[in-house]
Amino acid sequence: MMKLDKKPLISSLQRIKQHKHLFVKLTVSLLLLGIAFRVFIWDSFTSLPIPIQQQQQQQTTDHETSLQLQPPDTIELQPNRTSSQDDVGGRCDLFIGDWIPYPPGSVYTNVTCPEIENHQNCMTNGRPDSEYLYWRWKPRDCDLPRFDPVRFLDSMRNKWWAFIGDSISRNHVQSLLCILYQAEQAVEVYHDKEYKSRIWNFPSYNFTLSVIWAPYLLKSAIFEDINGVSSAAVQLHLDKLDENWSDQFKNFDYVLIAGGKWFLKTAIYYEENKVVGCHDCAGMNLTDLGFDYAYRKALRLALNFITKSDHKAFVFFRTFTPDHFENGEWSTGGTCNRKIPFKDGEIDLADLDTVMREIELEEVEKFAGDHVKLLDTTQLSLLRPDGHPGPYRQFQPYAKDKNATVQYDCLHWCLPGPIDSWNDLVMEMISHDR
């Protein structure tokens, strides 16, 4: 029998074992390298920012869970953020932007705020739609934090704010009051007979807030009822300030002052107590100087008084608010039935509004500085035809007759509503000296 020579076999087995060990070592090394590579790459990807599209999808999902108005006791105050971190090419223009959907809605309702005037209390008056509540102003090149009532009141300890102007100023101060109510309820300490001028105090902060009725900023005699119907032309003194605000100016730490649509009304103009002309005065045998003549004089006199005063209050000049009457005006059947904001470029200022705006910008520029700032609410307000009371300036206007003829208000603002964003702008300007 032939014997098998084992030496070559043993030699072959040894070589196979050596190759096997080598293969195992190589496999283990590759496995360890793969694990290390996976860990490294995973950590790198998890540290990258989420793509914008994915962020928007996440935000949409988060917001879909909260579509109801939040009552005050559930509000979480947002931490203060510096908008300049998002500025592009320098300081951000807060007044150029868009209205963006905001599912959380307003921080207050008609139930949680007792300071809403009846004519602007749209929800109580029966306005059936609510989409107008779910938008907020977003500047194009930076973020605009929501108004923080606690932070605002804390920074205003022992201070006095005054809103000076017409019924839009009163509309605005009610918006501010409603937001501040989330921190503390105000105590009214004064009102005039018609509740046009009022003063409130926030006891815990010794903060005083007032609104002063001065629709022309100038001395005037007005003959008009509560519905805006005039029985005679306004008598307007172009060289005298309205003492209702000028005599109190020295008491104020902050002032928000505004002119507006009142200058379009029929008026007789006085200087040195003598008639010098008029506006919209056909048949009076007077020279029609135009509303622009009076408006420029009024702003120049008021701003000159403010800047030359020894008392250096911080003053905002708020630009006028355009109305959104269609198919008529206030007293001629005008309406406003739109349900969503305009997009930029879809609407332009009316000719008279353009003239008024140019006067404001020109006059404020002459006096602007450390103590006088422009609060330019015109363009952002122009884009909100959906935010007015319309027929719901009256309580349940169609309760008895669905086809009733009702006067529309397409000038003032529902509360809550678009005007609440004006307070976001004010606080941002104060916080970052814009």
Distance CA 415, CA 389 (A): 9
**412 flagged as catalytic:** yes
DSSP state of 120: G
Catalytic residue from among 323, 409, 420, 424: 409
**279 flagged as catalytic:** no
Contact 84, 92 (CB under 8 A): yes
Tokens of residue 45, six digits: 């990807």
Please report how many Cα atoms fall inside a 13 Å half-sphere around the Cα of residue 210, on the Cβ side: 24
Distance CA 347, CA 380 (A): 11
- 3-state secondary structure labels for all residues of 88-100: CCCCCCCCCEEEE
**Which residues 6+ apart lie within 8 Å of 348 measured at CB?**
none
DSSP 363-430: HHHHH-SSSEEEE--HHHHHT-GGGS-BGGGSSSTTSS-TT-----B-SS--SSSTTHHHHHHHHHHH
CB atoms within 10 A of CB 43: 9
- What is the Cα gyration radius of the chain? 32
Residue 325 identity: F
Selection from 98, 185, 190 nearest residue 144 by Cα: 98
Q: How many residues are listed for the chain in this entry?
A: 434
Selection from 241, 237, 367, 365 nearest residue 301 by Cα: 241
DSSP 42-107: HHHHHTSPPPHHHHHHHHHHHHTT--SPPPGGGPPPPPP--GGGG-SSSS--TTSEEEEE-TT--S
How big, in percent rounded to 5, are the helix, strand and coil portions of the chain? 35, 20, 45
Catalytic residue from among 279, 412, 420, 424: 412
Local structure of 301: helix, strand or coil: helix
Catalytic residue from among 167, 169, 175, 197: 167
**409 flagged as catalytic:** yes
As annotated, the active-site residues are 167, 409, 412
